[in-house]
Amino acid sequence: MSLVLIALIAGLIAGISPCILPVLPIIFAAGVATPDVNQLTPNSWRRSTAIVLGIVVSFSVLVLVGTEILNVLHLPYWFLRWLGVTVLVAVGASYLVPQLAVWLERPFARLARFQPRRSSGGFVVGLGLGLVFTPCAGPILASITVLGSTEHVSLELVFITVAFAAGAGLPLFVIAFAGDQMVHRVRYLRERAPTLRHAGGVVLIVMAVVIGANWLSFLQRDLPGYTTALQNQFEGSKSTRTGLENLRPGKSVALAKCPVSSAGLVNCSPAPSFTDIAAWLNTPNDLPLTIQGLHGKVVLVDFWTYSCINCQRTLPHVEAWYGRYARYGLVVVGVQSPEFAFEHIISNVKVQAKALGVKYPIAVDNNLGTWNAYGNEYWPAEYLVDSQGTVRHVDFGEGSYAQSESLIRALLVKAHPGLKLPPPTSVPNLTPTQQTNPESYVGLERLQYLDASVQPQAGVPTKLRFPSSLQPYTFGLSGTWTFAQQEATSGAKAKLELNYLARHVYLVMGGQGTVTVSAGDGTAPRTIEVRGVPRLYTLLNASQSSAGTMVLKLSPGVQAYDFTFG
């Protein structure tokens, strides 16, 4: 219930933020555009209520199951937004052509038995607005979107989503009601209600096209984020983030109690099944594997994702174990659990798995079903399962390769007494031991280390300037950048300045363009060409760790996701 209340307040703050400015003319026009002067009664609040109800319904459906609807119907991701624009244009046209209004409102009039012409028309407006309404995103909206896109829609999440949408709709209700009452109370306007209705229709059509084409981005960009501090105060607390994290279903209680990085084998619990896997790669005919079907084998379940540098440093060891011990009964299952949106694309996984030399079976865990079944929290993470299907060892992160290999060997011998194994593998351990920058994300979802005076807003091109002096372990931006939840895309004169302490610096990038890297270590600037599948690029590969500042000059269209260091 506390999360529902916080979501309601967060929605209310979003409803007065700069991000809602493009929809205000539509809301006001819908309130002013009275269908019939004879219906101007003290009960005209019903139309304003219907508008907000339509927004709550369509916005909630969009963020909770919009991705699933598009996937089932094989529709592009822009479809629902332009559907909303089309609905708004149709409503605007109905204000100009009365017969069209009758036809458009008829299906909804049966749902609203009171004053159908006033309330049902408002509901249709709300349905269209909910599909194009994009409030400023904080932790609440980000969590709703992520859980909805991964199909983890619980009753609690529905309540939180509806509360957020209702909170955002309250200021819009006030605007619509103000327009409605203005016509009702001012005689001059009341006498010209038909003219106002036609004018309102024109406003709806024009503003729907403007919103669809994103022509008002400059308005959102140039106004300060006057609600940012208030949003952070209500949404940024540790208790709120903990509550949002607990919405994630399917955590394995038994495995959560299993000791991590134990010196020897332990008895944890039966291994959870491979759950909700989108595709299997590197299996015979790409058919699925099951834990039950692997009884008699020693199984290493390795959670990874292809753009994660920690996973990439682990892969040579896992690949070596598979190459050395597969003939003796070891099966490796790499559970590809995406961190970024581009890692959901199966063709991207195929391309990068081949480039990284992964030959063992891969379970594409797009909906994080298996990740949740294991209660996992890390990339990389290893769960070692014996021949009877019991998890015997859990290890998170990098480094414990010799220990993991010795336990694999022990389980193989236990499964096949008297088995003679070849010598252990000898892959160099490249786990960093020196202090480095923490992992630093560039997208809004986890934008922790950006040193900037301006708070970027989602989807709005933002002009930034480097700070006068960059704080340790942070980065600054200059030029134009457009931020999304997981990445920022470079625009005109885009540059990035990074204060680093590391031997190796990596950046996940996508899109298409060039990046000129001036590392600040005395070496000449070099240019990296970014194209194809988003992946990890090496910006610095020095012989020893050092502190410094590097500057990246990016051509327009390059997507920056996540810095990692070694």
The β-bridge relationship of strands 526-530 and 488-490 is: unpaired
Position 90, amino acid: A
390 burial level (CB within 10 Å; 0-12, 13-18, 19+): middle
Single pTM value for the model:
0.51
Amino acid 333: pLDDT: 94
pLDDT at 492: 92
Give the contacts of 284 (CB within 8 A, at least 6 positions apart). none
420 Cβ contact list (under 8 Å, min separation 6): none
Query: Both ends of the chain: CA-CA distance in Å?
Result: 43
- How many Å apart are CA 334 and CA 382, to the nearest integer? 9
| Pairing, β 391-396 against β 381-385 | antiparallel
At 331 the pLDDT is: 93
Q: For 514-531, b where at least 16 C-beta lie within 10 A, e where not — what string?
A: ebebbbbeeeeeeebebe
pLDDT value of position 484: 84
Span 443-453, pLDDT tens digits: 887 787 888 77
In terms of phi and psi (left: phi > 0; alpha: psi -120 to 50; beta: otherwise), the region of 511 is left
Nearest to 137 by CA among 169, 164, 100, 116: 164
Domains and CATH numbers, the chain: 2-244 (no CATH), 253-415 (3.40.30.10), 440-565 (2.60.120.260)
Residues in the chain with pLDDT values less than 70: 1, 18, 30-45, 67, 70-71, 74-78, 98-121, 134-152, 179, 181-194, 196, 213-254, 256-257, 340-341, 432-433, 521-522
- What span, in angstroms and rounded, lies between the C-alpha atoms of 282 and 358? 9
Q: Are 160 and 246 in contact (CB under 8 A)?
A: no
**Cβ within 8 Å of residue 239, ≥6 positions away:** 2
Nearest by Cα to 500 from 555, 539, 457, 454: 539
Residues 6 or more apart in contact with residue 389 via CB below 8 angstroms: 270, 271, 291, 292, 294, 295
Residue 2 CA to residue 395 CA, distance in Å, equals 35
Distance CA 53, CA 114 (A): 15
**Strand 362-364 vs strand 330-336: parallel, antiparallel, or unpaired?**
parallel
- Spatial contact of 101 and 169, defined as CB atoms under 8 Å apart: no
**HSE (CB half, 13 Å, CA atoms) of 491?**
14
Q: For the sheet with 362-364, list strands across it.
A: 279-281, 362-364, 330-336, 298-304, 381-385, 391-396
Handedness of CA 412, 416, 418, 419 (dihedral sign): negative
